[in-house]
Structures are given as C-alpha cells and as structure tokens.
Structure 1
C-alpha cells in the first residue's frame, strides 16, 4: 500500500491518454474513410496500372518466369 497513490496516478494518466486517442480516432474516421476509398479507386484505375508497369524494370523478367513455369 506504500505506492498506491503512484499506481492511481499512472492509472489516471493512462486512462486519459487512451481516451484522447480514441477521441482522435472517432473525429478522424470520416476523413480516413474518404482517403482510403480514393486510394482504392486510384489503385484500380488504368492510369495506376500504367504507372506500375512503367516503374517496374523487372516486368519482362517476371513475365518470362511465369511463362516457363
């Protein structure tokens, strides 16, 4: 019982930090949902596929490897 006040202070501070993190997540949920849907739409677009193909220098080697298998 010597350190009871110390444990209570740690518990209160931990609860406040956790509550503030949850409040932040609740407040930003709509923004994150919009960003994720925009990202998925971009990843499935033909422009994104063209960029992936252009930036992959090994695309010809990978294509030959899959043809041989």
Structure 2
C-alpha cells in the first residue's frame, strides 16, 4: 500500500527541521543559553541560602505538622 500525500509529509518534515534549526542558531548566536545558565545558577544559589529556607518555612508552617503528629502518637 502506497502512502497517500507522501510529498506533503516530507515538505512538512523538512520545513519543521529548518524552522527548529534556525531557532537553535538564533539562541546560540544571541547567547541565550549562557544567560539561562547564569540565571539558573543564581536561582539555585538563592534557594539554598538560609534566607530562602526561612521564607519557605514561614510560608508553609504546616509542612512538618504530619510528621510531628506521627511521632507523638
């Protein structure tokens, strides 16, 4: 059985590959990946800081409530 509209599928595949490749080249040329790497490392450094842990505990005071109830019973 021959696939109907094979040429359309090939055109769509080639067009998608070209668009994806051009997007990747644009991100590499503009330094997008370098900026994202720096932002992610800053975010992880802040999340592991004592200030961030204090804020996290203040925003969710019931986080350890279940564990303490299990110890008490």
TM-score (norm 2): 0.68
> Which structure shows the higher helix fraction?
1
SS where residue 57 of structure 1 aligns? coil
**Structure 1: where are the runs of 5+ without partners?**
none
Moved more, 50-59 or 16-25: 16-25
2:56 matched residue in structure 1: 52
Distance (Å, rounded) in 2 between the aligned partners of 1:25 and 1:57: 41
Distance (Å, rounded) in 2 between the aligned partners of 1:62 and 1:35: 35
Q: How many residues align?
A: 68
Whether 2:42 is the aligned partner of 1:42: answer no
Structure 1 residues 62, 43: closer, same or farther in 2, change over 3 A? farther
Task: Output the aligned Cα RMSD.
Answer: 2.7
Query: Which runs of structure 2 are paired with 1:1-69 in the superposition (5 Å)?
Result: 3=5, 5-26=7-28, 27-59=31-63, 61-65=65-69, 68=71
